[in-house]
Structure 1
Amino acid sequence: MRVLFGLVLVVGIGLAGFAVYMAKNRIGEYQATLAEQQAKLASNVPLEPVFVLKKRIAYGEKLTKEHVKIIAWPENAIPEGAFQEGPALFPESGDLRTVLRVMEKDEAVLAVKVTEPGEDAGVSSRLQKGMRAFALRVDVSSGVSGFLRPGDNVDVYWTGKARGRNVTKLIETNLQLLAVDQIADGDRNAPTIARTVTVMAPPPRIAALAQAQSSGRLTLSLVGAGDDTEIASVEIDQNELLGIEEKVQIEREAAEVCTIKTRKGAEVVEIPVQCPE
């Protein structure tokens, strides 16, 4: 009886060991197959070198080779303006680029976030071709209570006297702010009570703004981020504001009347008659 029990125990242990061995082989085969499929999938996506940052870098800092590294980036997802070649980012002249916006660790270095080689982070580096910078005077009320930041877009309203009436009129829409006072860093979050803001516009619009600023009061209105709504002409005067209807007097010419004068004794009588053509 003991021999039979021992034999059954040995057979059971052998079967259990065989089952563990088979399961281990199956798991190994599954893992190998999965790794092979992942390798094939990765090889199906072409990769390209892209410069990214090794650490966070702030506005106004010079970008050096110590700040960046190269990683493999999926070819179909490379951001527009990314740098892929060393000479393009760091020219042989040795002139360094300046950071225009705060960039975080592992973020791709984009052309819109750095200056041209050798340039600083001043306002001139942000001016687009054919555009000019112009300063507008503001205060707490006309400058949106100090919540304006470089990079924001604003509408400009003019208030003054026109055609004998006090009028407020929208004269410019979606003007981009280049600087608030002497601050061009768009990553500052603290409100700033500014005395001037610098906007970007083509020369004809600069002339219009200069004329408007010299002849009336300008007020800025902050445009929401990503808002591309086209606004029709806006103009309101005091009568429209208060709901007063202006009466228009129409002058009518008196109808021409022809008469014949006749005398009866000392009395002169005028008799209406049809006027000759």
Structure 2
Amino acid sequence: MSARKGAARASKVGALGFTLLALVLTIITALLLSQMMGGSQYNTEPVKPVVVASKDVPASERINEDHLKVVQWPESSVPAGAFSSLDEILGPNPRVPVSTIFAGEPVLKQRLASPSQGTGMASLVQQGYRGFPVPVDSWVAEARLVYPGAMVDVLTTINQQAERRTYTKMVLQRVPVLAVDGAVDSAELAAREEKSKANGGGGTGGRKAVVTLLVTPEQGELLALASREGQVDLALRNARDDSVVETMGVDPYMLLGQADPEEVEEAELAAKAGETPPDPDPRIRRPRRPRTRPEDRMAPREEGPAQPAVQRGPGGTKTINLGAQ
């Protein structure tokens, strides 16, 4: 009798335990279903492609394809100014960030600058070089005699009033053109000119065009002096031509094929002193001495150490000392 009661009690306990287990499983299942339904509701929200940084992009560094990737972003939270494709950022003129863009952060239009403006232009200047602006006649730019990426030689014409002498000399060779009127490629320059003409303008409107040259600091000093003391002109050259040309410069007497009166005078003085100077030849450029009194010309002069007339700067650009004539 007691055995039957024990068996019945055990059966009731087992049934109660099974009921509790079933209740717990039901609650767990309900929670899981609730979470799954909530997640599926989120996943059905519309998304759109957004360009983000795949790694940190420092300020002023030109953005390339390795810096970017496209991810799917919830449409409701896409920030203003975001890009949807890499081509919008890269294109012919890659943008540069005005401040660091961190990995995973959306790339926004308001945080980028054009290479032809401000921070963007500075990013094009290679380390150890400087961007030096040189004003040129507007027709030079309009005729495409200089354009971004071209190689030019720099000539300067100086009027030495003390010696009543005008002199032209090539002072730099193989200098890269960084920009023309702020345009960093030929396509952008052409588009600006077409837009100006469509608006009734004439290209640069008759004003001076500004050509930015990529030079070393030493070459920048030479250009500053050349532009302050005289007029600077640019001569286009073949980008594949890396030859260095030795020139002696030219003055009006050489231009007209005439003998320099000062050289003739020096020859006469030498003849009186019993010397036999060579006949003045207008085709040969001789070193010029500063004008002095006749009695001083006969006095012996102390010669200083020879100075190199030619220096080669980084990148193959050649500098010619203005003092070597």
TM-score range, shorter chain: 0.3 to 0.5
Q: Looking at secondary structure, tell me which structure has more helix per residue.
A: 2
Q: Looking at secondary structure, tell me which structure has more strand per residue.
A: 1
Scaled by the length of structure 1, what TM-score is found?
Answer: 0.48
Scaled by the length of structure 2, what TM-score is found?
Answer: 0.42
